[in-house]
Amino acid sequence: MNEVYHIPAMLQETIEGLRIKPQGVYVDVTFGGGGHSRAIMATIEQLSAQQGSAQNTENTKAKLYSFDQDLDAFQAEQRRAEQNEGQVLYGNPRWQFVHSNFRYLRNWMDYYGVKQIDGLLADLGVSFHHFDCPERGFSFRFSAPLDMRMNQTAKVTAAHIINTYAEEELARIFWLYGELKNGRGIAKNICRARNNKAIERTEELVSIVLGRSVENLMNAQADANGCIELNIPSDKKKDLARLFQALRIEVNDEMGALREMLIAARDLLQSGGRIAILTYHSLEDRLVKNFLRSGNLEGTIEKDFYGNILTPFEVIEKGLTASDEEVERNPRSRSAKLRIAEKK
């Protein structure tokens, strides 16, 4: 069975918003399933062909750098190439995969000798692959180890956080990253439970939150792959989703990485270059919105002597959402917001 690694939200709107040039240098800092990167490359090659430069791809200036800290993404692209599944990037001289967290964007551009870029794309949503791959522990739907690491070589897991963070710190991240109103109560119950036994698996954490036994949650039969889907009431799924989101953000330091990437992107974009970012929760959206409006992480609007706003960006798209038709095709696009800005 072929796995759908990820379906990118608002693909056409994002690519059009980048206003791609045939000789441009572009960065997709969230490769994932490669949908955005393939669309960028297809646009570059189409424009190059129209200019008569498609015959010698190695001599063109166009380049696409695709970042992902999860090696699964690169291996999935390799399999696409081996199985000849439509357009592939693997082996294309215009494409360079970068196995790294996007917080190191500036370092890698320096490494490749790139001084300026024409566009950058960031899809901050989690790939379907991560939610639907039980053993990675990203989803409360399955029995799995409490992992949640995007970079599988990293040391900090969700289990480490659950078992070592103080009660106040757990409550803080549950509120800050998950907006859980009952975060303090959940943190208290976690700390009480871990005094008796370390919390290592998703079903153990879910049982604490719901106040139900693990046996009660595990009453489903394993599928052909040995995966057990947990029996969770529909009215409890929203809070569990927020809890697991908060843990994932903390495990991967997603907000810290986003801040570092935004600063690097601002400095790397040349005049006329564009940045397109898809956000999925209020915390990251607020940061991106304020950064593109002000050019700084604090969101502070600076003005000159005459009262003119001083910002390195012109905002092009202020928060486009997916159409009803797209949400019907891809329900996970419902929470996406697309923001685009151009470097002055």
Task: Return the pLDDT at 202.
Answer: 95
pLDDT confidence bin for 82, thresholds 50/70/90: confident
CA distance 283 to 178: 9
Instruction: Give domain 155-251's CATH number out of 3.40.50.300, 1.10.150.170, 3.30.499.10, 1.10.275.10.
Output: 1.10.150.170
pLDDT confidence bin for 2, thresholds 50/70/90: very low
> Mean of the per-residue pLDDT values for the chain?
91
> Which amino acid type is present at position 211?
G
DSSP H stretches of helix in 21-70 = 35-50
Backbone angles phi, psi at 93, to 5 degrees: -65, -15
DSSP H stretches of helix in 112-233 = 128-132, 158-164, 167-178, 183-194, 202-210, 214-217
Q: Are strands 302-303 and 309-310 parallel, antiparallel or unpaired?
A: antiparallel
Task: Return the pLDDT at 4.
Answer: 53
**Among the ranges given (136-145, 161-170, 291-300), the one the predictor scored with the smallest mean pLDDT:** 136-145
Task: Return the pLDDT at 54.
Answer: 47
* pTM above threshold 0.85: yes
pLDDT confidence bin for 3, thresholds 50/70/90: low
Long-range Cβ contact pairs of 157-163 (< 8 A, separation 24 or more): 157/251, 158/247, 158/248, 158/251, 159/198, 159/199, 159/200, 161/247, 161/250, 161/251, 162/190, 162/194, 162/199, 162/205, 162/247, 163/194, 163/198, 163/199
For domain 11-128+255-343, the CATH architecture is 3-Layer(aba) Sandwich (3.40)
Of residues 156 and 218, which shows the higher confidence score?
Answer: 156
For CATH 1.10.150.170, list the domain ranges present in the chain: 155-251
Mean pLDDT of 257-281: 98
Mean pLDDT of 244-268: 97
**Among the ranges given (50-59, 76-85, 100-109, 132-141), the one the predictor scored with the smallest mean pLDDT:** 50-59
For CATH 3.40.50.150, list the domain ranges present in the chain: 11-128+255-343
Task: Return the pLDDT at 1.
Answer: 36
CA distance 89 to 161: 37
Task: Return the pLDDT at 224.
Answer: 63
Instruction: Please say if the pLDDT value at position 56 is more than 80.
Output: no
Instruction: Give pLDDT tens digits for 279-325.
Output: 999 999 999 999 999 999 999 999 999 988 899 999 999 999 999 99
Share of the chain above pLDDT 90, in %: 76
Instruction: Please say if the pLDDT value at position 85 is more than 60.
Output: yes
Share of the chain above pLDDT 70, in %: 93
